[in-house]
Amino acid sequence: MDNNPPQSFVGFDPTIQGILEYLEHHLPGYPFLTATDTLFVEELQRDFPHLDLLEEIKTFRWYFDDDLSSKKRTHRASLRRWIARSKDWRR
């Protein structure tokens, strides 16, 4: 699997790049796909501009204590729900 961003994604926001690197290298069990996750993170950034997404993802990781692979869930959907709830909690 080619882990380099496709040409069309080169030069995008360094915040997005940092989140993608975290998803790929530090979130055990996460099924990282460059193109899919780039779109996913861009959408999260548009939908939740006031949140520190990387911090939310780190909190998500440690809440599940690095044991995401044993959970019967869709990782992206679970992460999005986590972030959406965080948005609600911080109003």
**Residues 7, 44: Cα–Cα separation, whole Å:** 21
- The total number of structural domains that make up the chain: 1
74 and 45 in contact (C-beta within 8 Å)? no
Is there a domain that residue 80 lies in?
Answer: yes
> Residue 29: its pLDDT value, please?
84
Measured CA to CA, the distance from residue 3 to residue 34 in angstroms comes to 6
Structural domain boundaries enclosing 61? 12-89
pTM of the model: 0.78
Tens digits of pLDDT across the chain (91 residues): 445 555 445 457 899 999 999 999 998 889 999 999 999 999 999 999 999 999 999 999 998 876 666 555 688 999 999 999 987 665 5
- Residue 21: predicted pLDDT: 97
82 assigned to some structural domain: yes
